[in-house]
Amino acid sequence: MDDQKKNNYIAPVIWGITITSLIIALTMTAKKAFAAIVPNQKIRGCDTHGCGSFGASRGGRKHEGVDVVVTPGTKILSPIAGKVIRHPFPYPGDIFYKGILIENEQYSVKIFYLNPTAIQNTTVKQGDVIGVAQNIASKYSPGMTNHVHIEVKDRTGKLLNPTNLFT
């Protein structure tokens, strides 16, 4: 093989590191901000009550979070390390459905449709059990895919699309 053909198969070297090894190293060390809240986490698609993606139409407004498919009774894990601020309610006047608000120096994460087990004003680690999924389909109909709803804001209060923040 002549020198011209050999050079086509040699990765470029920068400071003694090949581009390929640099890409592999960056990929392996890059960490997403959020841990999955359930094993095999999946965003709710569309069902008879709408779609679970960020920005999906909700009549005159947009969906401000993502819906993660769960089975009622599933343990929900904290996506971030932070402090449990409060246990909010998604529906005014309905105290059956509950949520949890966790904050740290970067994010504010609100998760609805779970019975919180993490106590208000305590600190949780990423991956700690923070609650148990409720049966949201019982409020709407069997046509609703059971899920928990996650909303994320940055430290300035700006609403974020959490889809790409998860590992």
Comparing C-alpha atoms, which of 85, 70, 54 is closest to residue 162? 54
Quick check: 64 pLDDT over 70?
Answer: yes
CB 166 within 8 A of CB 73: no
The pLDDT score that the predictor gives to residue 28 is: 40
**CA–CA gap between residue 132 and residue 155 (Å, rounded):** 27
**In percent, how much of the chain has pLDDT > 90?**
70
The pLDDT score that the predictor gives to residue 20 is: 45
**CA–CA gap between residue 101 and residue 112 (Å, rounded):** 9
The pLDDT score that the predictor gives to residue 115 is: 98
Count of Cβ atoms closer than 10 Å to residue 131 Cβ? 23
Q: In residues, how long is the chain?
A: 167
Give the 3-state secondary structure of residue 144. coil
Dihedral of the alpha carbons of 36, 131, 162, 135, in degrees to the nearest 10: 100
**In percent, how much of the chain has pLDDT > 70?**
81
Q: Which domains does the chain have, with CATH numbers?
A: 1-30 (no CATH), 46-165 (2.70.70.10)
Residue range 102-141, pLDDT digits in tens: 999 999 999 999 999 999 999 999 999 999 999 999 998 8
Quick check: 18 pLDDT over 90?
Answer: no
DSSP readout, 73-103? T-EEE-SS-EEEEE---SBTTB-SS-EEEEE
Comparing C-alpha atoms, which of 154, 81, 89, 153 is closest to residue 122? 81
Q: pTM value? A: 0.80
The pLDDT score that the predictor gives to residue 26 is: 43
Query: Would you state the structure tokens that stand for residue 130, as one six-digit string?
Result: 């923070």
pLDDT band at 166 (very low <50, low <70, confident <90, very high): confident
Query: Would you state the structure tokens that stand for residue 46, as one six-digit string?
Result: 């569309």
Please compute the mean of the pLDDT values over residues 22-46 and round it to a whole number. Answer: 73
Quick check: 67 pLDDT over 90?
Answer: yes
The pLDDT score that the predictor gives to residue 2 is: 52
Query: Would you state the structure tokens that stand for residue 20, as one six-digit string?
Result: 């390929």
Quick check: 167 pLDDT over 70?
Answer: no
Indicate the helix (H) or strand (E) that contains 29: helix 19-29
Residue range 38-53, pLDDT digits in tens: 999 999 999 988 899 9
Name the phi and psi angles at 127, rounded to 5.
95, -10
